[in-house]
Amino acid sequence: MLLANSITISPDTLTATIQFGEVTTETVTITNSNAFPVNLDISILEQPTAISVLPFYADRFAPESKALVRDMVSDVQYQDENGNWVDGVRCGTAPTPNDVLSQVQNAIENNKSHSRISRNMVNVQVAFHVIYASNGAGNISNDMIIDQIEVLNDAYAPYDIVFTLVSVDYTMNDSWYNDMEQYESTYKQQLHVDPVHHLNIYTGNMPGLLGWSYMPYSWPENSYMHGVCLLYSCLPGGTAYPYNAGDTATHEVGHYLGLDHTFRNGCSVNNDYVDDTPQENDGNNIYSCNNTDTCPNDPGMDPVHNYMTYTDDACLNQFTDGQGERMENMIATYRPGLLENPIAPEWIYTTADVVQVPANGSLDLVFTFDGTDLIGGDYVANVYFEESSIDTTVLLPSYLQITGIPNLELSFVALTDTLFPNEFSNNYLEMTYSGTNLLTYQFDYEVDWLTVLGGDGSLENGESQFITFNLNSLFMSPGLYEGNVYLNSNLGSILIYLQMVILEPLGIGDGTIPMKFAVSANYPNPFNPSTRFTISIPDRSNVSTSVFDLKGRRIATLLNSELDTGVYDLTWQGKNDIGSPVSAGIYILRVDAGKYHHNQKMIYIK
């Protein structure tokens, strides 16, 4: 008998921290305590974290009441179920007023500057609602619905937007079916499924209309009015030729995700707020698949193959990269709930979908954490090991932290400085940015002895900025002090490690002014636990005194300060910069004082 607790996974959690662009692996061991082999199906779903989308407020613009009474001037013809040609309207989505769209554009730009998305894909969960008549009209098959989801995925997957069918319901109601426009608010209120996380699609009969939708900024995110309404016969395999290949849904979902018609405002600037969709006027050419150029003063031919124009389904086959970026920005600003839907992540994977664990045995399975093209942040996924015969699943939570900021170079990510009591020191961090998106940043820290000057700002491609790290040892005792500074941005974060060593006040000799630079032999040598030496400084100089191992690695900084002329006593306690005793061996004492340099060997014994 197979028992759920007879399968164990070790470790019980996977965790990795890597820099952006890096790849690492982790191994888990699956143990089967049954007397027979067990097959396990493996699936992985990303789980959104609380910080995957930073809170952002954007105004919503409910359509005016007149916009809900759609213009029914026929502009296309399609066939009904009897093969008769019917006059119809290609799209009933109301155009957005120019002043509203300019406010929407401002909100998008503000959101891009102040937030980040730790996702590289969006899963649009679809709740499908079939409204049909008592005589069976409109009672479409599940196959048509599945084919429609496939059409959507073919169109949107290149832009990292996928559609998952999560529910289908059928409702017989003659009134709703025969006039979906008049009863829209009624059936949506009763049938809708969580509009924050779902695209609700409604099919039925809408005399004269192929479909309509609402822009993402039209209602509050949780309003049941969101969604797409479609003439049932325009789904793949329907009778509404030449609009029966499923691209009416592709077009209306484009509106749902924030795209305007390519011909909006004709040849004017910012016609659809997408730079790479050529402008076209809004005459009869928008229904033709012929290559035309109705805006000859603007680059490019008319985008007759774009899903957001009015040509028939056979002519439509493309979005542009600019439209993909606009949908991404619209989702982040106005439909962030979609980013909370689980997806199959690209940042964690294994080579097997099914594994067989031997009887009374175990199996090692390697998981890859891939930080390629990810921005900084935290990522969470669940790995599911499922045995179908007993309907049980073993869960393996997995966590990935991406540190670093893409395309940003820092002159240092760790800083060590040595001061005497009651001193100040300025260190300069150079930031150089080579990315295409605007980088906004701020420095966060809780270090009493640090002040960051110029810590908030932004960088564009090719820009550099110097940030001042001011360290002070006012009223502080000699010793080692540590702290962290977090460089946080809309593209990730970087931790900068700080270390300040406060030295004992220097012992100064008998007041004799030395005639030349000299470093005494350290005594004792060999030594344990400490050794002393003197430095003679003939001229005021910046003096740096450090200890290196034989491989040339800096082990400890004993002094880094401006000193007046004099003779100074120093001591090394046989410890590195973080206060840990060093290993026994030979070390090099290096002293630099302006133009003077000195090296000598010291032997530390245990």
Q: State both tokens at 334.
A: 């106005």
Asked if residues 53 and 117 have their Cβ atoms less than 8 Å apart, the reply is yes
Quote the DSSP letter at residue 535: E
**From CA 277, how far away is CA 304, in angstroms rounded?**
10
Mean pLDDT of the region 303-310: 95
Over the stretch 60-72, which tens digit does the pLDDT of each residue have? 888 766 555 566 6
511 pLDDT more than 90: no
User: Which of 252, 280, 328, 387 is flagged as catalytic?
Assistant: 252
Over the stretch 187-235, which tens digit does the pLDDT of each residue have? 999 999 999 999 999 999 987 899 999 999 999 999 999 999 999 999 9
54 pLDDT more than 50: no
H runs (alpha helix) in 205-341: 247-256, 321-334
Q: Give the dihedral sign, CA 250/95/283/81.
A: positive
Q: For residue 423, give the nearest of 556, 591, 566, 563 by alpha carbon.
A: 563
Pairing relationship of beta strands 122-132 and 198-204 according to DSSP bridges: parallel
Asked if residues 425 and 470 have their Cβ atoms less than 8 Å apart, the reply is yes
% of the chain exceeding 90 in pLDDT: 54
Task: Give the number of C-alpha atoms closer than 13 A to the C-alpha of residue 257, restricted to the C-beta side.
Answer: 30
Give the least confident one: 97-101, 224-228, 294-298, 422-426.
Answer: 422-426
pLDDT band at residue 419 under the 50/70/90 scheme? confident
CATH entry 2.60.40.10 includes domain 4-47+346-402:
yes
pTM, two decimal places: 0.65
Catalytic site includes residue 346: no
Over the stretch 526-569, which tens digit does the pLDDT of each residue have? 998 888 898 989 888 889 999 999 888 898 888 888 888 888 88
Question: What integer pLDDT is reported at residue 302 of this predicted model?
Answer: 93
Question: What integer pLDDT is reported at residue 510 of this predicted model?
Answer: 59
Over the stretch 112-168, which tens digit does the pLDDT of each residue have? 765 545 456 799 999 999 999 999 999 999 999 999 999 999 999 999 899 999 999
pLDDT band at residue 84 under the 50/70/90 scheme? very high
CATH entry 2.10.109.10 includes domain 65-259+319-339:
no
Question: What integer pLDDT is reported at residue 6 of this predicted model?
Answer: 86
Asked if residues 6 and 304 have their Cβ atoms less than 8 Å apart, the reply is no
% of the chain exceeding 70 in pLDDT: 93
Mean pLDDT of the region 408-424: 85
Question: What integer pLDDT is reported at residue 515 of this predicted model?
Answer: 84
The chain-wide mean pLDDT, for the chain, equals 88
Mean pLDDT of the region 420-432: 86
Asked if residues 306 and 261 have their Cβ atoms less than 8 Å apart, the reply is no
Give the least confident one: 242-256, 271-285, 303-317, 443-457.
Answer: 271-285
Question: What integer pLDDT is reported at residue 64 of this predicted model?
Answer: 67
Higher pLDDT: 456 or 134? It is 134
Q: For residue 102, give the nearest of 53, 157, 61 by alpha carbon.
A: 61
CATH entry 3.40.5.10 includes domain 507-604:
no
Question: What integer pLDDT is reported at residue 416 of this predicted model?
Answer: 83
CATH superfamily of 408-502: Immunoglobulins (2.60.40.10)
Q: Which residues of the chain form CATH 3.40.390.10?
A: 65-259+319-339
Asked if residues 126 and 149 have their Cβ atoms less than 8 Å apart, the reply is yes
Q: State both tokens at 243.
A: 């609009």
**DSSP 3-state of 152:** helix
The count of other CB atoms within 10 Å of the CB of residue 7 is 21
Number of H helices, E strands in the chain: 6, 33
The torsion angles phi and psi of 112, rounded to 5 degrees, stand at -60, -30
**DSSP 3-state of 149:** helix
Higher pLDDT: 131 or 336? It is 131
Q: Which residues of the chain form CATH 2.60.40.1930?
A: 507-604
50 pLDDT more than 90: no
**From CA 425, how far away is CA 500, in angstroms rounded?**
10
Over the stretch 355-385, which tens digit does the pLDDT of each residue have? 999 999 999 999 999 988 777 778 889 999 9
Q: Which residues of the chain form CATH 2.60.40.10?
A: 4-47+346-402, 408-502
Mean pLDDT of the region 304-332: 95
Question: What integer pLDDT is reported at residue 576 of this predicted model?
Answer: 85
Question: What integer pLDDT is reported at residue 72 of this predicted model?
Answer: 66
Mean pLDDT of the region 338-348: 87
Cross-strand partners of 593: 543, 596
Contacts 24+ apart (CB under 8 A), 241-246: 241/78, 241/79, 242/78, 242/312, 242/313, 242/314, 243/76, 243/78, 243/90, 243/210, 243/312, 243/313, 244/78, 244/313, 245/151, 245/313, 245/314, 246/147, 246/148, 246/151, 246/152, 246/313
Per the listing, tokens 């008592």 go with 134
pLDDT band at residue 53 under the 50/70/90 scheme? very low
* Distances 263 to 126, 246, 268 between C-alpha atoms, Å: 28, 21, 9
